[in-house]
A and B are shown apart, each in its own frame.
Chain A
Amino acid sequence: MNTLIFRTIAPIIVVTMLVFSVFVLLVGHNEPGGGFIGGLIGAASTVIYSMAAGVPVARKALRVHPITIAGFGVFIAALSGLVSLAAGVPYLTGLWTSFDIGGSQIALSTPLLFDIGVYCVVFGTLSAIALGLESGEAG
């Protein structure tokens, strides 16, 4: 696997995949995509990067342990539901707001926050498992 070609283009692929995964996450509400698929793409990029550059480098690039990202995901998903409690509607009710930035409408919502949580969980868990298996240790 450790061919020069692969090692050279891997970072480019990884960056493209990561950007694409975030894109898929954001368009998910209207087009095919969403947090789950986005997270899968992101996890796949981690796998590719670790194959090319080695697990320690990949871990370092992530800065935190991937399972922490997963825990953070569950946290913000649960938190996004609490927003609606504060607004006096049942837990996890979707709330929407939108505002103008430079003439284009930007929609912001608690389901988006929730989906970001899903993204983090899938990305974090699968990255943690893959990196753990690859290096034979849990990190």
Chain B
Amino acid sequence: MRPLAPSLDVSIALIAIAPFLAACLAPLVQRFAGFYAGWILAIVPASIFIYLLSFVVPVSAGHSVLASLDWVPDYGLKLSFLVDGLSLVFALAISGIGTLIVIYSGAYLKGHPHQGRFFAFMLMFMGAMLGLVLADSSLVLYGFWELTTVTSFLLIGFDHTRQVARRAAIQALVVTTIGGFALLLAAILLQQATGVWELAAVPPLVGGAGVQAIYPVLLPLVLLAAFTKSAQVPFHFWLPNAMEAPTPVSAFLHSATMVQGGVYLLARMSPVLGNTPAWQVALTVFGGVTLLWGGIAALKQTDLKQMLAQTTIASLGLLVMLLGIGTQTAIIAALVYFVAHALYKATLFMVAGAIDHETGVRDITALGGLREKMAASFIATFFAAIAMIGLPPTLGYLAKEEMYAPLVSGALANIVLLLVLIAGNGVLAAIALALMIKPFMGPLPSLPKTPHEGSFGLIAGPVILAVAGLAAGLMAGLFGDLLLAPAASAVAYQPVQNHLALSADPRSPLFWLSMVTWVVGLAIYFQLDRLRTLLRRVDAIVGWSFDKAFDAAMFALIRLSAGVTRSWHHGRLELYLFVVFVMLALAICGPLLALGGQPPLPAFPTLNLAEWGTLGLAVIGVVTVLVAPTRIFAILALGVQGLAVALIFLLQGAPDLSFTQFMVEIVSVAILALVMTQLDLDHGDPRDFEGRLRDGILAVVCGGGLTVLLLAVLANPFDPRLSDFFSKNSAALAHGRNIVNVILVDFRGLDTLGEISVVMAAGIAVLALLRKRKSAAQADATPDAKAGKA
């Protein structure tokens, strides 16, 4: 770790912040630049990408760059960022693919009325994602994690007029927020155990400090966060539904970013939590199941985007599985696969979007013969598909070799894992073949639109990414040295040497394992239609899915909350008041009884005639309230009692208090009387004797309790510090002799500001209630009027 100039701190923080700033300007740019908005806005991620490239050489030399800005210095919180091998690979993928996606969005959503908003969401999401992978402080990581959830909600639900899109957005939000909450708990727990927020500082502490003690809690929390974000079974169902988003979103969120957040988290936490039996078992089991699940689900689909979504689930499972195996080779394999997958999946999504855009069809069985009409797309698809199949010389080939390498031994567990991997890769290869061949080969069917190649913006991204995947494979050595070895070192927390080289050696078992995979892939491809029919029949028999279970759970939740609301918010005013006052009585009398000690009765004061008279007035007021024949009468009598209290204040030398009390009484009597005229109530008291007795007892308990409480408070010696301070400083510091007013407007001005805001808000609420009543009354009146006319 080398010391850094403050300017570098700011510039690294800016990587995460710049997209947000660009997002604010995006609608404006879109309005003025129109068609070229995508190209202009792409400058932001492109410059981030180029700036990040400048870190490649120092990071590959073993440096990692720490940068932090003070956030809440009093609590030791910093906005700290870390550029090491791992975050660099992810950040490069996000900004690089992001650049092309922004360009692609410009062409894909050309003429969409909300294109500016779309750009804004997209750039915000990119900023959140960059912040997530660059964050060092676990709290900052959590913050950006939640931001990705929120922005992806906005993106998935972009076509908010469609019910399915809204549902998909809510589903993704709910599932990933559960994980976000788990991540917050994990971050706090980790800080409590190690004393640091910075993740880079944690691994050296693991040996000595007490992560072991919290490990059984910490691991499930981190896994929950990662599995929900990365769509592992049983949280996988939100991802295929998220395909309701416009295609650029799918290409971005489901290749390089959002869903890779969980994989990134696992990789980042690997030095802290990894290499234990629990970690290995959990990750390989969940990852393996997800790989097979996603693969099988992909076989059932005919929609291009759905096929890609399901294979994404499979690929995520594969990545989790590799991180679970956790050997150096497996980690390298995971990273190579991450890059290869990001490149080919983004390509395939963008091509799928282009096909949809130009032909109006996304169903693979209805497409065909596009190879000449959409030649560039076909070439891009071809290179992406061979990467997905894992044919040399692509990165995909290297990834596959690497992932088989750590498992070539006789152990039973390894054989099982190997079989799962071969099956999964075989399915992925079959899907890749289908994606490459079905839409492009064969005769051209009749399509809703006349197919032609997409605009330059639509094909630039796929072609560049497909070629990049090929180039990275051809330059495997350089690519491995510069990017993968540093990243793998960060995950393994020890120096990892790059050994990637493009070679095919028939003597190696890896060669034959690859052969087997391709054969499996081919076999599945030729049986694709039959398998699809079979799997769909099985689905129909089962008739149950995680998706439906989610709906059932949500509806159960809604019913539960509706039930709770109904039982507590029943609309019976007397019962509300009764509950409130019972609680008040408990709150006052409970502590008094529990803590014991009757306060001594004070000596009865000697009163002069005026004071006796006022006291008598108060008593008369209260008694009149009790015997009043009508409600209005009772309210007025209550006012008499309140005015008597104001007089007592005046006689006891508190003119300010008395003044306020006078005005409060007058206004509240007026308002209460007005409320009474508005409410449709009996004039008298409708309660029977038992009701009166019950309420009377409650009132006596509350009043008596409060009296005893006040006596108990007065029994303690008076602490004059505050009143001394105010009376000494009121005139000196605040130029005022009225201490009450000086406290309100000066010493405690901020409190008052809060209070008057509440008063205003309460006023608005009352007006809203009145308005609602009015409109309800109108709604009631209208049918009557109609009936009257008829």
Binding site for B on A (CB under 8 A): 28-37, 40-41, 43-44, 47, 67, 70-71, 73-74, 77-78, 81, 91-92, 94, 96, 107, 109, 111-112, 114-115, 117-118, 121-122, 124-126, 128-130, 132-134, 136-139
Q: Which of B674, B677, B756 makes the CB contact (< 8 A) with A118?
A: B756
Binds A, one of B146-154, B161-169, B734-742: B734-742
Chain B neighbourhood of A94, CB < 8 A = 734-735, 745-746, 749
> Can you give 23 contacting A-B residue pairs, CB < 8 Å?
A33-B656, A34-B656, A37-B660, A40-B666, A47-B667, A67-B760, A67-B763, A67-B764, A70-B763, A74-B753, A81-B753, A91-B750, A94-B735, A96-B735, A111-B736, A112-B745, A117-B756, A118-B752, A124-B760, A128-B767, A129-B763, A130-B670, A130-B674
Complex CA distance for A36 and B771, rounded to whole angstroms: 27
Taking Cβ atoms with an 8 Å cutoff, the residues of B that contact A are 655-656, 659-660, 663-664, 666-667, 670-671, 674-675, 677-678, 734-738, 740-742, 744-746, 749-750, 752-753, 756-757, 759-760, 762-764, 766-768, 770-771, 773-774
Closest to B774 in A: A137
A18 CB, min distance to chain B CBs, angstroms: 14
- A115-B760 Cα distance, complex, nearest whole Å: 15
Complex alpha-carbon distance, A93 and B381, angstroms = 67
- CB-based contact A43/B667 at 8 Å: yes
Give complex CA distance A94, B743 in Å: 12
Evaluate contact between B675 and A133: CB separation under 8 angstroms.
yes
Further 13 A-B residue pairs, CB within 8 A, beyond A130-B671, A132-B766, A138-B774: A28-B738, A28-B741, A35-B744, A47-B667, A73-B760, A74-B753, A114-B746, A115-B744, A121-B760, A122-B759, A130-B667, A130-B670, A132-B767
* Chain B residues within 8 Å of A31, by CB: 737-738
By a CB distance below 8 angstroms, the chain A residues around B764 are: 67
Residues of A close to B678: CB separation below 8 A: 133, 136
Q: Are A125 and B762 in contact (CB under 8 A)?
A: yes
CB-based closest 8 A-B pairs: A125-B763, A40-B663, A133-B674, A29-B736, A34-B741, A138-B767, A138-B771, A121-B756
Nearest Cβ distance between residue A92 and chain B, in whole angstroms? 4
How far, in Å, is A51 (CB) from chain B's closest CB? 9
Give the CA-CA distance A112 to B764 in the complex, in Å: 25
Q: Which residues of A contact B741 (CB under 8 A)?
A: 28-29, 33-34, 115
Residues in A neighbouring B766, C-beta threshold 8 A: 128-129, 132
Q: From residue A52, how far is it (CB to closest CB) to chain B in Å? A: 13
Q: When chains A and B are docked, how far (Å) is the Cα of A74 from the Cα of B759?
A: 10
A44 contacts B667, C-beta separation under 8 Å: yes
CA distance A71 to B675 in the complex (A): 24
Q: Which residues of A lie under 8 Å from residue B774 when comparing CB positions?
A: 136-138
Q: Are A32 and B656 in contact (CB under 8 A)?
A: yes
Chain A residues contacting B752 (CB-CB under 8 Å) are 77, 114, 118
In the bound assembly, the distance between CA atoms of A138 and B767 in angstroms comes to 5
Q: How far is the CA of A31 from the CA of B660 in the complex (A)?
A: 13
Q: Tell me whether B771 and A137 are in contact (CB under 8 A).
A: yes
User: Are A73 and B756 in touch, CB under 8 angstroms?
Assistant: yes
In the complex, which of the residues A32, A96, A134 has the most CB atoms of chain B within 10 Å of its own CB atom?
A32
- Contact between A71 and B670 (Cβ–Cβ < 8 Å)? no
State the Cβ distance, B769 to closest chain A Cβ, in Å.
Answer: 8
Contact A133 B753 (CB under 8 A): no
B738: shortest Cβ distance to chain A, in Å? 6
Q: In the assembled complex, how far is the CB of residue B648 from the closest CB belonging to chain A, in whole angstroms?
A: 16
Measured between C-beta atoms, what is the minimum distance from B146 to chain A in Å?
29
Q: Are B736 and A44 in contact (CB under 8 A)?
A: no
Of B664, B670, B756, B767, which one neighbours A67 at CB under 8 angstroms? B767
Contact check, B671 vs A133: say whether CB atoms are below 8 A apart. Answer: yes
Q: Contacts A33-B738, A126-B667 known; A137 to B759 CB distance under 8 Å?
A: no
Cα(A21)–Cα(B203), bound, Å: 68
**Structural contact, A34 and B763, CB atoms closer than 8 A:** no
In the complex, which of the residues B655, B664, B750, B756 contacts A40, with contact meaning CB atoms closer than 8 Å? B664
Q: Give, as a whole number of angstroms, the nearest-CB distance from A122 to chain B.
A: 7
A91 to B751, CA, bound (A): 12
Q: How far is the CA of A124 from the CA of B762 in the complex (A)?
A: 12
- The contact of B670 among A41, A47, A112, A118, by CB within 8 Å, is A47
Nearest B-chain residue to A65, judged by Cβ: B767
B661 to chain A, nearest CB (A): 10
Contact A92 B750 (CB under 8 A): yes
How far, in Å, is A2 (CB) from chain B's closest CB? 14
- With a cutoff of 8 Å between Cβ atoms, the chain B residues found around residue A36 in the complex are 660, 744
Do A44 and B666 touch (CB < 8 A)?
yes
Task: Give Cα A92 to B744, complex, Å.
Answer: 12
Separation of A92 and B735 alpha carbons in the complex (Å): 15
The answer to whether B770 and A138 touch across the interface, beta carbons within 8 angstroms, is: yes
Q: Looking at A33, A109, A138, which has the most chain B CB atoms within 10 Å of its CB? A: A138
A53 to B677, CA, bound (A): 18
Instruction: Tell me if B745 and A128 are in contact (CB < 8 A).
Output: no
Q: Are A107 and B735 in contact (CB under 8 A)?
A: yes
Contact of A70 among B674, B738, B750, B759 (CB under 8 A): B759
Q: In the assembled complex, which residues on chain B have CB atoms less than 8 Å from the CB atom of A73?
A: 756, 760
In whole Å, how far is A39's beta carbon from the nearest beta carbon of chain B? 9
A29 and B663 contacting across the interface, CB-CB below 8 Å: no
Contacts of A74 in B (CB 8 A): 753, 756-757, 760
Instruction: Find chain A residues with CB under 8 A from B746 CB.
Output: 94, 111, 114
Chain A residues with CB below 8 A from B770, complex form: 132-133, 136-138
What is the CB-to-nearest-CB distance from B375 to chain A, in angstroms, rounded to a whole number? 63
| CA gap between A125 and B34 in the complex, in Å | 47
Q: Would you call A70 and B760 a contact (CB within 8 A)?
A: yes
- Asked if B744 and A34 make an inter-chain contact with CB atoms under 8 angstroms apart, the answer reads yes
Q: Is the CB–CB distance between B768 and A124 below 8 Å?
A: no
Set of chain B residues within 8 Å of A33, measured between Cβ atoms = 656, 659, 738, 741
CB distance from B587 to the nearest CB of A (A): 27
B525 shortest CB reach to chain A, Å: 68
- What is the distance, in angstroms, from A23's C-beta to the closest C-beta of chain B? 13
- Whether the pair A114, B749 counts as a contact (CB closer than 8 A) is yes
Closest beta carbon of chain B to A107's beta carbon, Å: 7
B residues in contact with A35, CB < 8 Å: 744-745
Cβ distance A134 to chain B, nearest Cβ, rounded Å: 5
In the complex, what residue of chain A is closest to B663 when comparing beta carbons? A40
Q: Which residue of A lies closest to B655 (CB)?
A: A32
* Residues of B close to A47: CB separation below 8 A: 667, 670
CB distance from A62 to the nearest CB of B (A): 14
Task: Give the residues in chain B near A77, CB-CB below 8 Å.
Answer: 752-753, 756
